[in-house]
Structure 1
Amino acid sequence: MKISAAYRLRDLSVAIVDDHALVLEGFKSLLNKHGVNDVVTFSKAAELMDILPAHGFDIYIVDIGMPDVNGFVLIDAIRERYADARIIVNTIHEEIWLIRRMLDRGVNAILYKTTDFSRVIEAIVTVLNGERYFCPEYRKTLKRLDIGNDIPSLREIEVLRDIARGYTSKEIASHLFVSENTVESHRKSLFSKLKARNIADLVMKAVAMGYIMPSDYTDE
């Protein structure tokens, strides 16, 4: 794949955010081999956020599962400072609701950590050419999203989590600062979208489809 004439790999600056040293070193080594010398690694998301006001990068490769700062908070911080930032998410997460959040934030590329390391170069070239890049493994997951309005909204996911925790509509309304009628509307929508017969069936299907995880409503 050829890169746009407006860019050359050796001229790029790349920020990599991941809490695993092997991942950071692996990406940096790969990029160096392809002529990218300006590579800065961060083991904490907060470290990158601290320098954003004074220093931007051509490419950001971020893990949304950082322990210190939520990855979506980091993405929002980058976008707030640099609206046209090219952001590549490198993640282990394949849950549908998380993927939806990535897409809603307009990330430029998504790589799974199970994907061949070398695909990061392919992703970089693709986004520099003004296109979005999804690794082959992600495309398989993407097909599960191609179900139109049957995907719960982000607000419905929040309601879903509280339902799974055993909260009443009144408690959910208080928690989310909405009316009980709004919560009841979300409940009906969730039962319809997931084709659930009762709350137990709703929660079971939500977990199976990746909308919520057991840890969202248990002490595990």
Structure 2
Amino acid sequence: MNDIYKYLLEDLKIAITDDHDLVLEGFKSFLEKKNIRHVETFTTAQQLINTLPARDFDIYIIDIGMPDIDGFTLIDVVREHKPDAKIIVNTIHQEVWIIRRMLDKNVNAILSKSTDFSKITEAIETVISGKQYFCPEVRKKLNRHRQLLEHPSEREIEVLRAMARGLTSKEIAAQLFISENTVETHRKKLFMKLNARNIADLIVKAIARGYINASEFDRNVET
């Protein structure tokens, strides 16, 4: 670590959000040993959200598996309050479609919870230099599955969830304030991206890939 980065690290304000106390204590202890003095920890997503109007952090380390608020929603809330926020995701999830969703959120770094703590300073240094960082496990996953990374956009997933609830194109258009033609375009893209034969097949594959939960769909949806 050169002197410039050492100086920057000492001045950084970092927020860590995770529902496991051991993870929080481990991160904070490790960072403090690296002379990063301004580290605050939050055990719920709501605790972090409550600080956003009044507090500024240079880096937000977020677990997307928070129990109170979906981690992707938390990322959106942080971005709404702090558009230039640098976000590092620390997660157990290594599924390609979940990694892709993180990339769609323009996160600055992705760490696996199985990664050695030493990688966190590497990630922080990379992020504050303006670059994106992926831990070795995520890099391998990305390199191995590049061909699988085209997945539904956020809007297409909204349409997908509505389809799974059995809504018609007209009903989806009204719900999302878009035209029926736009809904049909999203439907076609969903079938292509998931290589689905019909709606039932589309829903099964969407659940298998983690785009929707089984509880979100209507079992009476026609094939």
Q: What's the TM-score once normalised by structure 2's chain length?
A: 0.81
* Equivalent residue, structure 1, for 2:14: 14
Q: AA paired with 1:5?
A: I
How far did residue 96 of structure 1 move?
A: 4.7
How far did residue 118 of structure 1 move?
A: 2.9
Q: 1:143, 1:101 → 2: CA distance?
A: 16
* Equivalent residue, structure 2, for 1:202: 202
Q: Secondary structure of 1:90's partner?
A: strand
Q: 1:144, 1:156 → 2: CA distance?
A: 25
* Structure 2 stretches lacking a partner, 5+ long: none
Query: In 1, are the aligned partners of 2:89 and 2:109 still within 8 Å (CA)?
Result: yes
Aligned-residue CA RMSD in angstroms? 2.8
How far did residue 169 of structure 1 move?
A: 2.6
Q: 1:205, 1:68 → 2: CA distance?
A: 27
How far did residue 109 of structure 1 move?
A: 0.5
Q: Secondary structure of 1:151's partner?
A: coil
How far did residue 190 of structure 1 move?
A: 1.6
How far did residue 145 of structure 1 move?
A: 6.5
Deviations 1:23-56 (A, max 9, x none): 1111111112222222111112222222233321
* Equivalent residue, structure 2, for 1:181: 181
Alignment: residue pair count = 218
Q: AA paired with 2:32?
A: N
Q: Secondary structure of 1:29's partner?
A: helix
Query: In 1, are the aligned partners of 2:9 and 2:36 still within 8 Å (CA)?
Result: yes
1:125 aligns with 2:125: yes
Query: In 1, are the aligned partners of 2:96 and 2:148 still within 8 Å (CA)?
Result: no
Q: Secondary structure of 2:4's partner?
A: coil
Q: 1:107, 1:53 → 2: CA distance?
A: 21
Identity %: 61
Deviations 1:52-108 (A, max 9, x none): 333212221112232333433433343344333221111233455543443233211
Q: 1:71, 1:61 → 2: CA distance?
A: 11
Query: In 1, are the aligned partners of 2:108 and 2:133 still within 8 Å (CA)?
Result: yes
* Equivalent residue, structure 1, for 2:89: 89
* Equivalent residue, structure 1, for 2:211: 211
